[in-house]
Structure 1
Amino acid sequence: MALGRTTRLPSLTGLRFVAAAAVVAQHSSLIWTRGHGENAVLLRLGFAAVTFFFLLSGFLLTWAWRPDQPVGIFWRRRVARILPSHLVTLALGVLLLAAAGRAVPLHAWLPNALLVQTWSPRFDLLDPGVNGVSWSLCCDLAFYLLFPVVARRAAAIRPERLRHWAAAAVAAVVLVPLLATAARPLLDGPPFGLAVTQRQIWFSYTFPPARMPEFLLGVVLARLVQEGRLDRVRSWHGALAFALLYPLDHVAPLMFGIAAITVLPLAALIAGTANADRLGRPSWLAHPVTERLGALSMALYLTHLLVIEHGDALLDPDGTADGLRPLLFTVVLVAGSLAAAWLLHLAVEEPMVRLLNEPRRARPAELRTRPAELRTVADHQRETP
């Protein structure tokens, strides 16, 4: 890999907050729909944000990958990034349900705790258990387990063939909804809505192998950027393409709106934003405040739905709020989500990352001979999601 390995990516960190905010907006629409489901326009925006995060995961892991890193250390660091925060929010969700007088059976929390719930076709996105957003961590865990093998294979791809592999990954993303449509007789069951069944949504949206092509595209995309083969791509190219395609995403069949329509604009957005950092182009996303908010994105993702669902039930138990009250509740609960994310990040995520994710302490002689290398390793660890 010729270029970009040691470059920090503050703009991509800032962009993570934008994507997390889209998910928060999607779930905040529950306050306005009074339990009748999320706003359809924001639902597709939330789909796009999840695709963005899966692409970004592959991109950043590849960007920071060092072939000499032991696999066990890599896995330990990845688990340290997600598992403590996940278990804390899961426990909080159980306590909140118990406080509301709702039973929390074993089958509702144990698969969630182990991050295996979405491997089963019985997983129901409409009733996902204690903390519904944690389904995506099942996919993240699968990506992490396979990444050391994927990274070595990706590093062996000749630069001139990277575009072919990227095209193959995009084709695989499009193939998923085609398979889910063709397999309707095998994926029959209770309706999800919009002419699809819950099992079709499970297969195309939450089943980890179905989301693997997006992650693999992110891996290849990182190599393309590192090799300087996408230098002309700017972040506004991806943003404009997304804006133009989003109306199509909204009217397309639901399963195609999950990732197939938006994956290329989002890939261009990631590549262009990474180029801004690598090539020294100015970007508002690299502002320290935006970068700091981006560092909260994982904690915000894990806490916001608990705050919104339980907070709305507390503020408006009868679902009768009207006038300006839904707007006021939205502002309060979004602010509460940010506060909860900050606490989770400060009290759980950062301490566990420091404990398990820091490089071994170098001897004084090593610090004198290779301080730049040690700083580079630390930067990589902070950038990786």
Structure 2
Amino acid sequence: MSSFDPRLESLRGLAALLVCVHHGMSVFADNAPLAAMDALLFAFNSAAAVIFFFVLSGYVLGRALERDGTFVTYLARRLFRLLPPFVVVLLFTFACERLFRIDPIPSGLMPGFQRMFWPQPTWDALWDNLLLRSFTVNGPTWTLLLELLGALMLPFVVAAHVRIEQRWRWALFVVIATLLAISPYHMLLWFYSGYFLAKEIGALLAGRRWLAATTFVVGLIGLETAGTNSEFYAVGIVIPSAIAAALMIGAVAASRELLQWTTVAPLRFLGRISYSLYLVHWPIFYVCALLAVICRPAVPTHIWGNLLVMVTSAIVAVGIAALSYRFVEAPSIRAGKSVAPALERILARIWTRISQPQAEAS
């Protein structure tokens, strides 16, 4: 089971697209047929998609660390992978929210949409968002702080599992998972379950095609159900959602035949640009929503207005994300690959110079 699987890459892209779609349907509130809107928002569940991101990160990064556990290389590549696109898109978001405004707040908008974009973001808000102290400029960037914490945790738990005997690894998992569950950092269970639980499930299901397919469906239903809760970061939601997402990933890893339709080129492309898409969809959603507000007299009901915002913002965001991936994300990934070995050599020389006097003295 390789850490890279084109099907998992495509699923990550579909999860990013689900987040775009969910936000696109959250603009207009007037004359709302509540049951229809609730059904749409449940079907396009952004909380479940974000949870899947975290668990998949744990799986992919954990397998990469098992192959090459060099901490400096791993950390440098991860930081270059995440931070440059974040900074560029955040500045782009700030520019959009400052330049394109309708004041005062138009009537008939969902309360959540009003809270997210009014009042106009300040320069202090931009600075706080850059430092990951608040996320009022680009709301979805709250996940970046958790991604960084998960990336920092994984080398230690992977090292612990690699060094312990096979028969004790499940016991170690229970101990670490329990400590995380009772700590303020219980959301890191998503990453830990992705690393260990998804891998073990994949090993148990290996060669059992139909059982793997059933497991994937069970995991999908469980994730959709758990992720609908507004407090999805509470420990009572984190644990079942982590298990559900791990079931999905383990099932895909166990069966080569499962979800082969996700290997088509468009979905692979969507997976490659998924991080850029996740970041950049926010300002595009905002601008498309403002245009829909201006054109609202031509839209018969709020449902059609939300669908219009959803479709247009998703299409435009995919195009902008492709540009962001091409000119920001891909170069930063290459830079990380180049910098990591050089940084490792520098640290090795520093360590050698520090350790030599100690060896001579002894």
Q: Given the two structures, how large is their TM-score scaled by the length of structure 2?
A: 0.74
Partners of 1:11 and 1:352 in 2: CA distance? 24
1:108 to 111, 119, 125: 125
Q: Deviations over 1:150-195 (max 9, x none)?
A: 221122243334444555666678x57xx9xxxxxxxxxxxxxxxx
- In structure 2, relative to structure 1, the CA distance for the partners of 1:225 and 1:155 (3 Å cut) is farther
Where structure 1 has 5 or more consecutive residues not aligned to the other structure, the ranges are 118-122, 180-202, 204-208, 362-385
Equivalent residue, structure 1, for 2:245: 266
| Aligned 8 A contact 1:159 1:224 in 2 | no
**Alpha-carbon distance in structure 2 between the residues aligned to 1:261 and 1:252:** 15
1:276 aligned to which of 249, 255, 279:
255
Percent identity, please: 23
Paired with 1:344 and 1:87, the residues of 2 have a C-alpha distance of 12
Deviation string, structure 1 residues 28-67 (Cα, Å, up to 9, x no partner): 1213436x99x65637922211211111111100111256
1:217 maps onto 2:234 in alignment: no
- CA distance in 1 between counterparts of 2:61 and 2:164 reads 17
Q: Partners of 2:175 and 2:262 in 1: how far apart?
A: 30
Which residue in 1 is equivalent to 2:157?
Answer: 150
Is the Cα–Cα contact under 8 Å of residues 24 and 307 in structure 2 kept in the other structure? no
> In the alignment, does 2:146 pair up with 1:139?
yes
Shift of 1:250: 4.7
Q: Within 5 Å, which residues of 2 pair with 1:31-70?
A: 31-33=27-29, 42=41, 45-66=45-66, 68-70=68-70
Larger of the two Rg values belongs to structure: 2
Amino acid at match of 2:53: F
Partners of 1:253 and 1:137 lie apart in 2 by 18
For the 8 Å contact 1:12–1:270, the answer to whether it is kept is yes
Tell me if the contact between 2:58 and 2:193 (Cα under 8 Å) persists in the aligned partners.
yes
Contact 1:10 1:291 in 2 (8 A): yes
Identify if the C-alpha distance between structure 1 residues 139 and 57 changes in structure 2 by more than 3 Å, giving closer, same or farther: same
Match of 2:280 among 277, 283, 303: 303
Residue 244 of structure 1, CA deviation: 6.1
SS at match of 2:25: helix
Q: CA deviation at 1:322?
A: 2.9
The reply on whether 1:15 has 2:32 as its aligned counterpart is no
2:312 corresponding residue in structure 1: 332
Q: After the TM superposition, which residues 359-378 of structure 1 pair with which residues of structure 2 at under 5 Å, given as runs?
A: none
Q: Which of 221, 224, 229 lines up with 2:204 in the alignment?
A: 229
Report the Cα distance in structure 1 between the residues aligned to 2:178 and 2:230, rounded to whole angstroms: 17
* 2:24–2:306 CA contact under 8 A, matched in 1: no
**TM-aligned CA deviation for residue 262 of structure 1:** 2.8
Residue 293 in 1 paired to residue 270 in 2? yes
Q: Name the structure where helix makes up a greater proportion of residues.
A: 2
Change (3 A) 1:167 1:18: farther
1:352 and 1:7 map into 2 onto residues whose CA distance is 21
State the one-letter code of the partner of 1:108: A
Q: Map residues 107-126 of structure 1 onto 2, 5 A cutoff.
A: 107-115=124-132, 117=133
Amino acid at match of 2:5: L
- 1:162–1:220 contact (8 Å) kept in structure 2: no
Shift of the alpha carbon at 1:11?
A: 1.1
C-alpha deviation, 1:256, in angstroms: 6.7
Q: Hey, what does 2:82 align to over in structure 1? A: 82
C-alpha separation between the residues in 2 aligned to 1:170 and 1:304?
A: 33
SS in 1 for 2:193: helix
Q: Deviations over 1:221-256 (max 9, x none)?
A: 354267x33424514423234326745765797647
Distance 1:107 1:12, change over 3 A: same
Distance across 1 between alignment mates of 2:212 and 2:194: 17
Residues 294-318 of structure 1 deviation map (CA, whole Å, 9 limit, x = unaligned): 1111111101121112221123248
TM-score normalised according to structure 1 size: 0.70
Contact 1:63 1:222 in 2 (8 A): no
How many aligned residue pairs are there? Answer: 313
- The gaps in structure 2 that reach 5 residues or longer are 102-118, 342-362
CA RMSD across the alignment: 3.5
Using the alignment, how far apart are the partners of 1:165 and 1:67 within structure 2? 20
Q: Indicate how the Cα distance of structure 1 residues 158 and 252 shifts in structure 2: closer, same or farther if over 3 A, else same.
A: farther
Aligned mates of 2:131, 2:71 — CA distance in 1: 21
CA distance, structure 1, for counterparts of residue 228 and residue 4 of structure 2: 35
| Residue 355 (structure 1) aligned with residue 331 (structure 2) | no
Distance (whole Å) between structure 2 residues aligned to residue 306 and residue 170 of structure 1: 37
Change (3 A) 1:292 1:51: same
Distance, in Å, in 2 between the alignment partners of 1:72 and 1:105 is: 36
Residue pair 1:165, 1:220 contacting (<8 A) in 2 also: no
- 8 Å Cα contact 1:170/1:264 also seen in 2: no
Contact 1:60–1:222, Cα closer than 8 Å, also in 2: no
